[in-house]
Structure 1
Amino acid sequence: MGTLGYDRPLYILAFDHRSSFEEMAQKAGVAPDEVPERVRAAKRVIYEGFQHAIRNGAPRDAAGILVDEQYGADVARDARAQGYLFAMPVEKSGQKVFDFEYGEDFAKHIEDFNPTFTKALVRYNPDDDPETKRIQLERLKRLSDWLHERDRKFLLELLVPATKAQLESVGGDTERYDRDVRPSLTVQAIAEFQEAGVEPDIWKIEGLDRREDCERMAAQVRQGGRDHVGCVVLGRGADPDRVDHWLRQGAGVPGYIGFAIGRTLWWDGVRGYLNGNLSAEAAAEQIAANYRRAIDLFVEAAAAAAR
């Protein structure tokens, strides 16, 4: 096993979405039997946007993509051939409880594509049912152990959805939950993962409204000698102004190395492409501009924080 963690800058354009992509295509009027190929084409447009950004100055050693096998196998194989940083998911899409997309064959798929990072998404709240928590932790520990035994990097996307009681405690106000309740729950969840032996190299963390909460998060992921473990900000499909704020809060915090953002950067471009209002080239250029802007914002905010 190599050193735990990844602490170099990392700016991921994420488009491993599956069920939400299918819904998006259907809403754009794509015929059901044409949805799979149109989704694959849309992912190629996003990838072209990524490459366009690289050609126009995005840092190749820090820029990366997150793409799935189901609709993006060709993109993943090209990314590997081109030497780009890339991550691939192992989880079934849209599940409340983490499970492997390919069951007992998960290892074969990882070895076949050989991604830079293997990503797992988990919905986990410390107040969840204990049996559900146990099942998720056991499955993720199996993945964590398998990856580290083979010196592979593990990217864990942690979502902490509110329980009914937690939401009621803030009068049903989801923004208040995000600001005042979720940060402490996320720190607690990370501690529970660590206690269970689930050891990501990078934590993909929901955006935080306060810098001090980013500092708490980074301190937790690095506690106990995990000095090189990193955090990246995820966008959760939020509006650009909200995501910009989250990026500014994390930028420059030791341990926060970048972001992994998807829909906020490509939604409008892909929707325009699918409904025929944008050409593939125009959509790719729009996505590239949004991606470059996010990188520049994070870099500039980190530089300002260091002054």
Structure 2
Amino acid sequence: MRLGYDRPLYVLPFDHRASFETGLFGFKPPLTREQAAMVAAMKRVVYDGFRRALDVGVPAEAAGILVDEEFGAGILRDARERGVVTCVPVERSGREEFAFEYGDRWKDHVAAVAPTFVKALVRYNPEGDKAMNRRQAARLRVLSDHCHGTGVRFMFELLVPATPAQSDRQHGDAGLYDRDERPALMAGAIKELQQAGVEPDIWKIEGLDRRADCEMLVATARRDGRDEVGCIVLGRGSDEAGILAWLRAAAPVPGFLGFAVGRTSFWAALVGLRDNTLTREEAVVQIADRYLEWVRTFTGARGESGHGCQ
């Protein structure tokens, strides 16, 4: 049975693992205890930015965090105690094909952190590797059934990278692929996964430039009686202008509940802190301001006041 989700949902994701370990610090796994503590400390900075945004007006019932258990177990406990929506990834980081983090023990880890949502990031192109798609769908069916059998909500982060043939059709222009091919491919991926028994409560999808495409994706996600299923916009590391355009396109469409924008919210602030060009407090404020900007943009595009954001 699908649980569904129909409330506003403004997620600050910082479940990135390789991006923090290698991209931010240049560490090579396995990390030493000191290196792991440095990564965890940076994630705490992001969380403090999130909490600051709540203090100045983002409603706790609409706000959420997405962070990994490895470096954010304490953050997840604190957020859960505060009544904040918590999301935890279950995919192994940096893999082209979906596989469970913690292998056969993934269910025990989900039970231990007791999140509102489990999140699976999946690269799935319906015109891509058919055998890989079938393998992924089978694993994701297990995840979907487990979530709905235990009362944990399921968030599916769908990425549809271009195949070589699709890229060639657009002469290697990623922007043209995103505009002219990706929307229909996303709809095709959603249909195939639904037919395989994969039933997310939330589809976390790459931003779309056109409102008509947003409407089409919601209609696909909600087809055949799935009226309670929602969609949110992911950031994909885009620049500020790109994020704002995606939020404005999606926000007026019923069924789009919010967003999950990560690196664009915190990366510059963490680099500044790492390089000693920002203090910790300045980094926290910068992250809070970015998160607030997304909330104000989304609610403004829906014709709302911003839920009290100052």
| Common fold by TM > 0.5 | yes
Match of 1:217 in 2: 217
Percent identical pairs in the alignment equals 52
Match of 1:264 in 2: 264
In 2, distance between residues paired with 1:299 and 1:178? 25
Match of 2:9 in 1: 10
Instruction: Encode CA deviations 1:113-152: one digit per residue, 9 max, x unaligned.
Output: 0001110000000012221011100000000001101121
Helix, strand or coil: the match of 2:303? helix
In 1, distance between residues paired with 2:48 and 2:97? 33
What amino acid maps onto 1:272 in structure 2?
G
Match of 1:174 in 2: 174
Contact 2:98 2:123 in 1 (8 A): yes
Match of 2:308 in 1: none
In 1, distance between residues paired with 2:276 and 2:21? 17
Helix, strand or coil: the match of 2:100? coil
Match of 2:286 in 1: 286
Instruction: Encode CA deviations 1:217-260: one digit per residue, 9 max, x unaligned.
Output: 00000001000100000000000001100000000201100001
Match of 2:91 in 1: 91
Q: How does 1:114-263 map to 2 (within 5 A)?
A: 114-263=114-263
What amino acid maps onto 1:258 in structure 2?
G
In 1, distance between residues paired with 2:74 and 2:281? 19
Question: What displacement does 1:45 show?
Answer: 0.2
What amino acid maps onto 1:7 in structure 2?
D
What amino acid maps onto 2:5 in structure 1?
Y
In 2, distance between residues paired with 1:84 and 1:4? 18
In 1, distance between residues paired with 2:116 and 2:219? 25
Instruction: Encode CA deviations 1:238-293: one digit per residue, 9 max, x unaligned.
Output: 00001100000000201100001100111111111122221211101110011011
In 1, distance between residues paired with 2:52 and 2:285? 7
State the aligned residue count: 300
In 1, distance between residues paired with 2:254 and 2:168? 34
Contact 2:90 2:106 in 1 (8 A): yes
Match of 2:276 in 1: 276
Superposition RMSD on alpha carbons, in Å?
A: 1.3
In 2, distance between residues paired with 1:16 and 1:200? 19
What amino acid maps onto 2:246 in structure 1?
W
Instruction: Encode CA deviations 1:28-70: one digit per residue, 9 max, x unaligned.
Output: 9xxx754322111110000000000001111111011000011
Question: What displacement does 1:199 show?
Answer: 0.1
Helix, strand or coil: the match of 1:158? strand
Question: What displacement does 1:27 show?
Answer: 5.1
Question: What displacement does 1:201 show?
Answer: 0.0
What amino acid maps onto 1:93 in structure 2?
S
In 1, distance between residues paired with 2:219 and 2:96? 28
Question: What displacement does 1:24 show?
Answer: 2.6
In 2, distance between residues paired with 1:271 and 1:27? 12
Larger proportion of helix:
1
What amino acid maps onto 1:38 in structure 2?
M
Contact 1:24 1:271 in 2 (8 A): no
Contact 2:3 2:151 in 1 (8 A): no
Question: What displacement does 1:25 show?
Answer: 2.6
In 1, distance between residues paired with 2:280 and 2:114? 28
Helix, strand or coil: the match of 1:266? helix
Contact 2:60 2:83 in 1 (8 A): no
Unpaired runs of at least 5, structure 2: 305-310
Match of 1:103 in 2: 103
Helix, strand or coil: the match of 1:111? helix
In 2, distance between residues paired with 1:118 and 1:71? 16
Contact 1:65 1:87 in 2 (8 A): yes
Helix, strand or coil: the match of 1:142? helix
Match of 2:299 in 1: 299
After TM superposition, the score normalised by the length of structure 1 is 0.95
In 1, distance between residues paired with 2:164 and 2:210? 24
